[in-house]
Amino acid sequence: MRLKNNVHSVTVFAPATVTNVSCGFDIMGFALFQPGDEVRLTITDRQGVTITSIEGGNGKIPLVAEQNTAGKALLSMLQALDLPFGVEVEIFKKMAIGTGLGSSAASAVAAVWALNQFLEEPLNKEELLPFAMEGEKLTSGQQAHADNVAACLFGGFVVIRSLQPLEVIALDYPSELHCAIVHPQLELKTSDMRRILRQQIQLKDAIEQWGNIAGLVIGLQKGDFELISRSLKDVIVEPVRGKVIPGYQQARQAALEAGALGSGISGSGPSLFALTTSAEAAQQCAQAMAQFYLQLNLQCDTYLSPINPHGPQIVQIED
């Protein structure tokens, strides 16, 4: 594996992602333009991964590479490719952690995409995915779902058809789609949000869910907004998780009344997403949701973004 001669340091941005997307629990996700994380890698002769600084993250993100999602992803990639050098890592957390917006995936993807830029023959995204997943496993264990990492790395709207073997399918989707995100400032642990889910579900609910999954996929492929809207329903996970996110049902209802095609929990929450057919409609949905949370005396961050078709982006390459 040969290195480019002239690259000394690379900075990459990788985006936040919305996963589950109502009916697509653990199998669907899409990328936003903002927020996101940046990772800067500098090549060194010293083998291994040294995290030299972390900006943001409230001091909760470990500096030890083996325990850090970006660090772990880089270690697995350096090792698998038997790369004859090491990297110093600066992490710029530009989004809060524990939001349901794929913060750990963004850092891992930014890191592997940055490392890829040093290679004379860079890997493709399918080849990079397993390394980024190694980072995600730190948060979610060996059974890590791939939806955040895949949506972040591939950009656009993705389906994880299978985890073993890992298979990601890029969906077509109408370019008019916009997303409003509201992140109420609550602390929820991803592991807790998974623990409250029932491991057994009703067959009749599963049948209703797979009708909606088929509907959402067809709606996205064909650009049929009414079909997308009818299909953005979750009868399995949101009814459980929605109960532990204060005001969830009302905030969602506010988005729907403000014109959203659909609205639901982003990832394991507490952020809510709303999908719309225009930037203006997304803004109205974000306002409606944020206003509702203000009534509950909950501060929130809001983000507006079309679907991001790119995934990670190079911010800077230094010789």
Please list the active-site residues.
136, 190
Which CB, 94 or 194, lies closer to a second copy?
194
Our finding on whether 151 is near a second copy (CB under 8 A) is no
* Dihedral sign, Cα of residue 256, residue 259, residue 261, residue 266: negative
Our finding on whether 142 is near a second copy (CB under 8 A) is no
Residues 219, 220, 225, 231, Cα dihedral to 10°: 50
Q: Which stretch binds a second copy (CB under 8 A): 41-49, 54-62, 105-113, 213-221?
A: 213-221
Residues within window 243-282 making contact with a second copy, judged by CB under 8 A: none
Site for a second copy (CB under 8 A): which residue of 122, 141, 211, 246? 211
Site for a second copy (CB under 8 A): which residue of 12, 16, 74, 160? 160
| Amino acid code (one letter) for 8 | H
Our finding on whether 21 is near a second copy (CB under 8 A) is no
| End-to-end Cα spacing for the chain | 20
Q: Which stretch binds a second copy (CB under 8 A): 38-46, 99-107, 129-137, 204-212?
A: 204-212
Contact, 79 vs 169, CB < 8 A?
no
Our finding on whether 171 is near a second copy (CB under 8 A) is yes
Does residue 165 have a cis peptide bond before it, meaning omega lies within 30 degrees of 0? Answer: yes
Contact, 51 vs 262, CB < 8 A?
no
Q: How far does CA 107 lie from the centroid of its chain?
A: 10
Site for a second copy (CB under 8 A): which residue of 50, 190, 221, 250? 221
Q: Is 204 helix (H, G, I), strand (E, B) or coil?
A: helix
Which 8-state DSSP code applies to residue 258?
A: T
Which CB, 197 or 294, lies closer to a second copy?
197
Which CB, 24 or 312, lies closer to a second copy?
24
CB of 2 to a second copy, least distance (A): 33
Site for a second copy (CB under 8 A): which residue of 82, 121, 204, 297? 204
Angular region, 12: left φ>0, alpha ψ -120 to 50, beta rest: beta
Contact, 141 vs 239, CB < 8 A?
no
CB of 297 to a second copy, least distance (A): 35
Our finding on whether 25 is near a second copy (CB under 8 A) is yes
Contact, 186 vs 173, CB < 8 A?
no
Contacting residues toward a second copy, per CB under 8 A: 23-28, 159-163, 167, 169, 171, 197-204, 206-215, 217-218, 221, 227, 230-231, 236
